[in-house]
Amino acid sequence: AALQCPKDSGRAVLGVGNLCAVALALALAPFPVLSNARLFLENLIKYGILVDPIQVVSLFLKDPYSWPSLCLVILSNVFVLAALHIEKHLAAGSLSEHSGSVLHSLNLLTVLCFPALVVLTVSSATPVGALFALLTYTIVFLKLFSFRDVNRWCRERRAKDESARLGELGTSPAPAKHNAASGQKTANGDVAEKSVSYPANLNYKDLYYFLLAPTLCYELNFPRSPRIRKRFLLRRLVEMLFFTQLIVGLIQQWMVPTIQNSMKPFRDMDYSRIIERLLKLAVPNHFIWLIFFYWLFHSSMNAVAEVLRFGDREFYRDWWNSESVTYFWQNWNIPVHKWCLRHFYVPMIRSGCRRWMARTAVFLLSAFFHEYLVSVPLRMFRLWAFMGMMAQLPLAWFVGKFLQGNYGNAAVWISLIIGQPIAVLMSVGSMPDPCFIQRWLSIPGGLLGVPGSLCYAGVSCGAKKQHRILTSG
């Protein structure tokens, strides 16, 4: 991972310097965001301490006796086992390629549709719990898609080798081993230590190792580290715990009041106040996004990889040095980038599609999953996430054509700092139910000028503290 490599340290932090310049420009702009420290202190003075770790539980569970999201996650094993047994029948020859392809397609389609239908119909599913379940199913979908493709490639290679052997007279070569990593680099970037041949890979242990591994690209043989480094693992676990609490605290203390105070300007269409709230939200949103990136791609993925002795640790590259939008999307999330390249972009190019068409298709796929993970948990279909992703195409063209070097890098940072809060405010502002955000964030009714009886029958004992969110505006 880029943060673990000391070489070329000057180049490695160039993008961070540009981030500081952009953040300083925002801090000195003639708006309420004068400085990050001032903003945080102002928040504490206005609202007091709003951090409540216990409140987080209510984001996952509405009814302590109903756990729909957890049940959904457990049920995902049904689709995993279905994919494994389809592959076993295909390897044994008891199922035709066409029938297997149809069954795989139906299984993958159900992986996406089934949890969405459950979330939309079961009222006890909370947005955060539903997001966790849908994210799990999305990962399962991508992994099973890769699992299907790689095993199909192995069967095609086996059929080709058998045809070659039949065409040779007077020779009896040993059966070829059909694996994805015999003496060469795998799609995950390293050389496997030992070889597993097809179809010996079709077993529960192999498949569930892949499902737990921090990669989306299936291999018959994954690179493995020699041992578990206990100190390294302990550091990653401590980071995970610390940054989880920090993210939750920043959201409760910094993000929620700003979002709450943005409701009235949206209802009144007060554009100057909307812009002011947008800039006020940009700084905490970006801090949380950066912390979340480190928590996910550096701490969490490295912890999982260490436990599984998974050898490929390239989860991200130096995206902070991006001088183009394209470079950013190719380097900030390496597991997804490798999957898109291997199972979507390259097959389209080989089928005769032009590169711009394949790139557009990749962004369309990404936009679909962004919308899927936002609209379904919120039960609100406004296509803001979809349009935000598709807007990356003209932005990438503009930055690539007119901005170079540091200017391009600054443009990427600005798009990240400003673009995300725009999507957040547009999504929240277009919610048809004015009480929804209150129920979601466990905030008592009546704080936004909405009668409390519309949201809850009563007001909790924390209402006086939360009332400062409105009165401090």
| Residues belonging to the active site | 370
Measured distance CA(417)–CA(419) in Å, rounded = 6
Q: Which of 179, 134, 177 is nearest to 153 (CA)?
A: 179
Structure tokens at 190: 């390293």
Find out whether 412 and 427 touch, Cβ atoms under 8 Å: no
Tokens representing 169 are 């007279």
Put residue 245 in one of left, alpha, beta given phi > 0 → left and psi -120 to 50 → alpha: alpha
Q: Are residues 224 and 310 in contact, defined by beta-carbon separation less than 8 angstroms?
A: yes
Looking at the DSSP bridge assignments, the partners of residue 310 are 224
For 465, residues 6+ apart whose C-beta sits below 8 A from its C-beta are 47, 48, 50
Q: Is the peptide bond before 64 cis (omega within 30 degrees of 0)?
A: no
| Angle, helices 271-293/405-429, rounded to nearest 10 degrees | 110
CA distance 61 to 140: 23
DSSP states of 39-51: HHHHHHHHH----
Rg of the chain (C-alpha set): 25
First to last CA, the chain: 42
CA 314 to chain centre: 16
For 322-354, the three-class secondary structure string (H helix, E strand, C coil) is CCCHHHHHHHCCHHHHHHHHHHHHHHHHHCCCC
Which token pair is 400? Answer: 């690539």
Would you say 150 and 201 are in contact if contact means Cβ atoms under 8 Å apart?
no
Q: Which two structure tokens, joined as six digits, stand for 259?
A: 């979002």
